């Protein structure tokens, strides 16, 4: 079997058109969705992502505010800036680009963002609300994965989903979103014994381990849906995922490539969450 490629770039483009239409409608009611992005330090990849977030905001007609802070900024100054943005009515979404320098407590930073403006969906209140099936900002990469499957017409109810990886921003929440959609979910991680035994059961396999080409054809059931969340560089400096694409695509039914798979959905769902926050502010204020 040769897998069908799930084209994240195309699906993201379609979603962005829908979001732009809603933004225009909201602007006609006098509200422009506003996103504040805080970048601490000068990590090259982080700067690229932040620039892309700013550019996408502008493309969709949203207001974007970039706040740059030096690597050595104090935790206190960063928290004070977040508090200021929490009170700014022009800002509907706040995000602090991760990773942060080691001297800054990431949890403290996330918990300082108002849950009403936490468009990354990382605040414990939003995570709790997601777990209990309440209205919440959903974390952008996991949410993007669900939209990719929905747009491709891949059913989820009753499917065996195996998530390899347990990070707070992808692995754990994506498993929860599948559980909310009535899948049977198994989490695997670095301490899992005989990984293959689990991954071979997967109708939908999500690889989010951050190790280049970690998932091989031997880990995959014939016809499975394989979602690659990895963004790694191989020895030649070329971008690659957690899945050995060439061999796995010979066996899977569907597969997301890297790049142009899950990645483009992350920023698209961030735009969606910012729009949602602006819309919700209308009924609250
Ligand atoms: N506050 C946050 N920090 C980080 C998040 C996040 O969701 N919120 N996620 C990642 C980085 N990230 C967005 O911030 C992100 C990563 C990758 C992509 C993407 O489109 N990737 C492309 C390839 C890009 C390249 O060429 O390097 C793809 O896969 O096609 C978008 C956003 C960590 N930090």
**pLDDT tens for each residue of the chain, 285 residues long:** 799 999 999 999 999 999 999 999 999 999 999 999 999 999 999 999 999 999 999 999 999 999 999 999 999 999 999 999 999 999 999 999 999 999 999 999 999 999 999 999 999 999 999 999 999 999 999 999 999 999 999 999 999 999 999 999 999 999 999 999 999 999 999 899 999 999 999 999 999 999 999 999 999 999 999 999 999 998 888 999 999 999 999 999 999 999 999 999 999 999 999 999 999 999 986
If asked whether residues 144 and 258 sit together in one domain, one would say yes
97 and 203 inside one domain: no
Q: Report CA(116)–ligand 1 centroid distance (Å).
A: 22
Same domain, 257 and 148: yes
Q: Is 166 annotated as a binding-site member?
A: yes
Specify the number of domains making up the chain: 2
Per-residue confidence (pLDDT) for residue 235, from 0 to 100: 85
Residues 156 and 237 in one domain: yes
The whole-number pLDDT of residue 1 equals: 76
Check pocket membership of 98 for ligand 1, CB cut-off 6 A: yes
**Residue 5 falls inside a structural domain:** no
Query: Residue 20 to residues 13, 54, 112, 186: CA-CA distances in angstroms?
Result: 11, 14, 29, 36
pLDDT in tens, 38-63: 999 999 999 999 999 999 999 999 99
91 and 58, same structural domain? yes
Same domain for 168 and 99 = no
Distance (Å, whole) CA 232 – CA 210: 7
Query: Is residue 273 in contact with ligand 1, taking CB distance under 6 Å?
Result: no
Is 127 within a domain?
A: no
56 inside domain: yes
181 is known to lie in a ligand binding site: no
Q: Is 118 in the pocket of ligand 1 (CB under 6 A)?
A: no
276 in any annotated domain: no
What CATH number did the domain enclosing 35 receive?
Answer: 3.40.50.10860
Q: State whether 217 and 156 are in the same domain.
A: yes
Within this chain, do residues 144 and 257 fall inside the same structural domain, yes or no? yes
Question: 156 with 200, same domain?
Answer: yes
Q: Does one domain contain both 97 and 144?
A: no
In the prediction, which pLDDT does 234 show?
Answer: 87
> What are the catalytic residues?
53, 97, 120
Assigned domain for 232 exists? yes
Determine if residue 231 is labeled as part of a ligand binding site. Answer: yes
For residue 222, the enclosing domain spans: 140-262
ipTM: 0.96
What is the pLDDT, as a whole number, of residue 247?
98
- What was the pLDDT predicted at 285? 62
Q: Please indicate, yes or no, whether residues 170 and 246 belong to a single structural domain of this protein.
A: yes
Domain identity same for 165 and 245: yes
């Amino acid at each position: 079997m040769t897998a069908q490629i799930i084209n994240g770039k195309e699906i993201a483009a379609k979603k962005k058109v829908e979001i732009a239409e809603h933004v225009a409608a909201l602007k006609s009611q006098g509200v422009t969705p506003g996103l504040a992005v805080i970048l601490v330090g000068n990590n090259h990849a982080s700067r690229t992502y932040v620039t892309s977030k700013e550019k996408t905001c502008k493309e969709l007609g949203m207001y974007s505010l970039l706040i740059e802070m030096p690597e050595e900024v104090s935790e206190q100054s960063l928290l004070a800036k977040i508090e200021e943005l929490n009170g700014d009515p022009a800002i509907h979404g706040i995000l602090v680009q991760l990773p942060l320098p080691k001297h800054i407590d990431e949890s403290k930073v996330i918990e300082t963002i108002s849950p009403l403006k936490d468009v990354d969906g990382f605040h414990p209140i939003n995570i709790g609300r997601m777990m209990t099936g309440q209205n919440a900002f959903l974390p952008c990469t996991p949410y993007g994965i669900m939209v990719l499957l929905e747009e491709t017409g891949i059913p989820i109810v009753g499917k065996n989903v195996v998530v390899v990886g347990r990070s707070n921003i992808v692995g754990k929440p994506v498993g929860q979103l599948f559980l909310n959609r009535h899948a049977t979910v198994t989490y695997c991680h670095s301490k899992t014994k005989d990984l293959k035994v689990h991954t071979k059961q997967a109708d939908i396999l999500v690889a989010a381990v951050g190790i280049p080409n970690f998932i091989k054809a031997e880990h995959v059931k014939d016809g499975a849906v394989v979602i690659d969340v990895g963004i790694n560089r191989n020895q030649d400096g070329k971008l690659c995922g957690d899945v050995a694409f060439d061999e796995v695509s010979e066996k899977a039914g569907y597969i997301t490539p890297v790049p142009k798979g899950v990645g483009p959905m992350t920023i698209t769902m961030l735009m969606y969450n910012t729009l949602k926050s602006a819309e919700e502010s209308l009924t609250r204020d």
